[in-house]
Structure 1
Amino acid sequence: MRYALFLLLLIKISAFSQQPSPDSLRKDIERSLNYLTQHQTTQTIEGKQYAGEWEAFMQMKGFFFFLGVKNQYRDSNCFTMAGIHNILAEMYLADTTQKQILPMLAKVYPEVLSYATPTPIGLQFNFWKKLPPRRDLSWGKEPNPIPLVRRPTNFILGERFINNAANVANDADDTALGNLAIWYHQKIFGKDSNQTIKHSIFDRYLDQNRQNRHWYNYLYHGFKKSGAYMTWLAQESTFENWRFHKTVLHNLVFFLPFSVCYPHPYIPYIPWGTNDVDVVVNANVLTYLTKKGTLNQSKGHEAAHKLIAKHTKRGHWNRMGIYYPNRYHFHFAISRALAAGDTALKSSAQLLLNHLSQTQNPDGSYQSWKHVNKRDILQSTTYALLSMLYLKESGLEVSQETINRAVKYIDTQKKMETNQNYWKGGVFFSGGTVVRNILYFTSDAYTTALVAMAYQKYLKIHNKK
């Protein structure tokens, strides 16, 4: 009996320590694409789910004022759909024999465009769709007809205040991702009538000549008047002469109509009434502008590079992204922009590589801080692995053993169905600021797509040996 238990233990240890073979990883990619094909939504139920999308969830970690208690809600949003689209498009362009990807791209592309707002210089994108409001939003007489608003699909918001706050403005992050999807679509399927947006839209909203400043940037980021890209593509509230104590006072009375933080009915809202600067958003804008070939025409690109360099040197990883609580999302976003061709990020990338080399656990995993989804180990390891693979693609010297250990760990986490593999979704986005570690977004499909792309890149490196 003891011998049998000892033998079983040896088998388990051997299985854990064994590096997945190239054939095994190819099969995992195939089964991951099968999973994504089978789990792409086929039927639209207006206001609940939409054909072409994949499941994503808003997760409430615990109670929060106006938002309710711990729970999970399916949500349709641009970030998830454009994100998966762009991962799959990148995979297809790297290996055009993966024909299974094409129908998925064709189905999700119209869904990505449903989040767009046409402008004279191209399409801006929003995180959420325009939908009928669930309740009256004005204290007085409602407009006729009732305007559509931006809101979650299935998360039931109660008070007028939080419903109006959910009606967010268009943003640079989704606009970069949505237009990158258009760019990929044109490259894969040919000319498209939707022209990608010009760089000038991002240059209209730079962190300069402002009479306001976001409290999160003030407390955690420093680097005022950075000149970098701001998150929201709308006019923020301004003060005659901004001081931090004014922001504090307005935040304390956020529920009163005279506060700059107060959301008004049917008017697109910037959270807290104040624009912000997020380093991951800046990296996503840089990726899009680099892919499109207009990076050097943009006024904000040099300031964005300097901001990223300052943050990388300072290394406050847990507070890095306002809307991205996983500490390794920053590494992923910067390395992806570098691999797209933004070579100005190379010095920052070397510091990121140093951090990745120093923080890997003995089992090959990486972990975020304790407040993020129980350290969000699988998602952290996936971002870290992709970061290393992008950095290696960009010419940096990355330890193959470090990469191998991360691949081994991710392999142990896969879930298997009939001819399908998937990985449980971790945190890829959050509500930001005060709900940064309470309200977050997850998707098995998004994480599975990331892993499949990582495996494809890993095999490409393996084949070069």
Structure 2
Amino acid sequence: MRNFFLFLFLLGSFRSSFAQFDKIELENKIHDSLEWLANAQEKETVGDSIFRGEWPSTMGLKNRFLYLGKAIPFRDSNCFTQANVFNTLAEIYLKDSSKKEILPMLELALPELLSYRDSLTFNFWKKLEPNIPLSRKEPHPENYLAHRPTNFELKTRFINNAADIANDADDTSTGNLALFYANEVFSIKRKIPSQNLYDSYIDRNRNNYHWFNYIHKIPRPSNAYMTWLAPEVQFKHWSFPWQVAHNLVFFLPASSCFPHPYDSYVPWGANDIDAVVNCNVLNFLAKTGQLEESLGKEGAVNLLKYVVGKERWSRAGIYYPNRFYIHYTISKVYPYFLEELAHEANILKMHLISSQNMDGSFFSRKKVNKKDVLQSTVYALEAMLNLKEAGVEIPKENIDKALEFILTHEIRDDKGIHWNGGVFFSGGTVVRNALYFKSDAYTTALVAQAIQKYLALFYGELE
């Protein structure tokens, strides 16, 4: 009898480790996820707080922080969340045009997305009336609008000026990718920038260097793409001790780190090199057929080689503290660099397999949203599926276990099904493990896409 129960236990373990999913059930989960996303999308604008066409997201502190206030999450409208939800839904539709329910969502979201656009570049936040006058001494320019969060409380002039940030390569690449997809889906012709825009901001011939990159020993010059699409402070002779001195007096106008009123701010006065941002730029250039002409392509690939070789999973992205986000973003560009990144893809594969828990989950560091288990697992699953699509031998058992874990965390209500959002990105540098942006809509869209990819890989071509 004891052997019989042992046999049943082993049989159950075997079955759970090679989970079998019903195809119809998985297709229904995609449908119910899209239904929830359609219901969650805003239909009306409410002042400067909620905007028609957007999906909800939050901006909140893990702990009370100097200048930023209490650990309370606030609803926030930002380009990066909207563009990434838009792009994920567009990719689902472009793979399966029978999912017509996506079209009204994209159509409703597009005008809102364009509100973050300045000419050919995008900002993280839209321009709104400043919360308070931005200067005690200077006259307030007529009709001046500042980039700022919609609802997060910014009480001081200093922090309001610091929030009036410059346009950046991350939002510009994802925002313009959304326009590219809109052109594909709706047969329209909105202009998108050439690679020259990004090649104008490459890490070379600089008299400045971001302290975070210095501490984490990013090679100089990296010749990779930089984050901010704006001029940085220039020194005659940059040195780390001199930069530390400026950082210590960041609250004084003489500091290179000081945010001046009515002037777009490059945080800390220094541009930075972020591996995830470089992936997003490469992804945009690849999708739009501009990769070969780009001057920053080689430097960006070398940067990815460097951070993967050092296994800097948690610190590869200045603005991305989740350990598995770098796996996800590299897996998206890997198909365009099969030879150049073959070794790195294998390192990613081995880390994904070795770090998966028995229940199929993955987790980040404890300080990141209490290990950010669900979000980490979603990123890891997407990474494994993308790598497998590109020919990397990822065991199906690992993919099954991750998907099974995620499906057990679905939340079903009368609007459909969704998943709680984890850390999508952060405030970066000193607040990269304190100021978090989350979105249930983004996480739910990723899960729907992962299920679609799973069906295509293991159940044949999509019908």
- With normalisation by structure 2, the TM-score equals 0.94
- Partner Cα separation in structure 2 for residue 431 and residue 342 of structure 1: 30
Tell me which residue corresponds to 1:137: 134
Deviation digits for residues 89-144 of structure 1 (CA, Å, limit 9, x no counterpart):
000011111110011011111111110011xxxx1000000001010111214234
Q: Which residue does the alignment assign to 1:199?
A: 195
Question: Structure 1 CA distance, aligned partners of 2:173 and 2:140?
Answer: 33
Where structure 2 has 5 or more consecutive residues not aligned to the other structure, the ranges are 1-8
**Is 1:96 aligned to residue 97 of structure 2?**
yes
Q: Which residue of 1 aligns with 2:167?
A: 170
d(CA) in 1 for partners of 2:13, 2:46: 47
Q: Could you say what secondary structure the match of 2:314 adopts? A: helix
Name the residue aligned to 1:179: 176
1:318 to 314, 318, 321: 314
2:325 is matched with 329
Q: Residue in 1 aligned with 2:382?
A: 386
Match of 1:4 in 2: none
The secondary structure found in structure 1 opposite 2:118 is strand
Q: Name stretches of at least 5 consecutive residues in structure 1 with no aligned partner.
A: 1-8
Tell whether 2:267 aligns with 1:266: no
Read off the aligned partner of 2:65 and give its amino acid letter: F
Secondary structure at the aligned position of 1:240 is classed as coil
In the alignment, structure 1 residue 81 sits paired with structure 2 residue 78 = no
In the alignment, structure 1 residue 124 sits paired with structure 2 residue 117:
no
Cα deviation per residue 1:249-268 (whole Å; 9 max; x = unaligned)?
Answer: 00000000000000000100
Distance in structure 1 (CA, Å) of the matches to 2:170 and 2:184: 21
Please name the residue that 2:4 is paired with.
none
For 1:54, the equivalent position in structure 2 comes to: 55
1:295 counterpart SS class: coil
Corresponding position of 2:185: 188
1:19 positional shift: 4.1
Determine if contact 2:133/2:140 at 8 Å carries over to the other structure. no
- Higher mean displacement: 386-395 or 17-26: 17-26
Question: What secondary structure, in the 3-state scheme, does the structure 2 residue paired with 1:230 have?
Answer: coil
Of 157, 162, 176, 2:154 maps to: 157
- 1:39 matched to 2:36? The reply is no
- For residues 142 and 170 of structure 2, the distance between their equivalents in structure 1, rounded to whole angstroms, comes to 31
CA contact (8 A) 1:426 1:442 kept: yes
Q: Distance in 2 between matches of 1:397 and 1:102?
A: 34
Deviation at 1:345, TM superposition (A): 3.1
Q: Name the counterpart of 2:3.
A: none
Aligned to 2:396: 400
Identity among equivalent positions (%) equals: 49
1:419 Cα offset (Å): 5.8
Q: CA deviation at 1:418?
A: 2.3
> Is residue 20 from structure 1 mapped to residue 21 from structure 2 by the alignment?
yes
* Aligned positions, number: 450
Distance 1:347 1:46 in 2: 51
Q: Tell me by how many angstroms 1:14 deviates.
A: 11
Check conservation: 1:213, 1:274, Cα contact below 8 A: yes
2:278 is matched with which residue?
A: 282
Q: Tell me how far apart the structure 2 counterparts of residues 419 and 187 of structure 1 sit (CA, whole Å).
A: 29
Structure-to-structure mapping, 1:343-362, within 5 angstroms: 343=338, 344-362=340-358
- 341-350 or 20-29: bigger deviation: 341-350
Q: CA deviation at 1:146?
A: 4.1
Distance in 2, matches of 1:77 and 1:126, equals: 8
CA contact (8 A) 1:60 1:71 kept: yes
Report if the CA contact (8 A) 2:39-2:415 is conserved.
no
SS at match of 2:229: coil
CA distance in 1, matches of 2:415, 2:71: 34
- 1:204-256 deviations in whole A, cap 9, x for unaligned? 11111111111110111431210100000000001100100011000000000
| Inter-partner Cα distance in structure 2 for 1:140 and 1:415 | 52
Paired residues of 1:287 and 1:337 also in contact (CA < 8 A) = yes
Q: Which residue identity does 1:216 align to in structure 2? A: F
Secondary structure at the counterpart of residue 423 of structure 2:
coil
Backbone CA RMSD of aligned residues: 1.8
CA distance in 2, matches of 1:166, 1:14: 53
Q: Contact 1:20–1:411 (CA<8 Å) still a contact in 2?
A: no
Which residue is 1:418 aligned to? 414
> Cα distance 1:349–1:13, how it changes in 2: closer, same or farther (>3 A)?
closer
Which SS does the other structure have where 1:297 is aligned? coil
Specify whether residues 15 and 160 from structure 1 end up closer, same or farther in structure 2 by C-alpha distance, changes over 3 A only: farther
Question: Matches of 2:398 and 2:436 in 1, distance apart?
Answer: 29
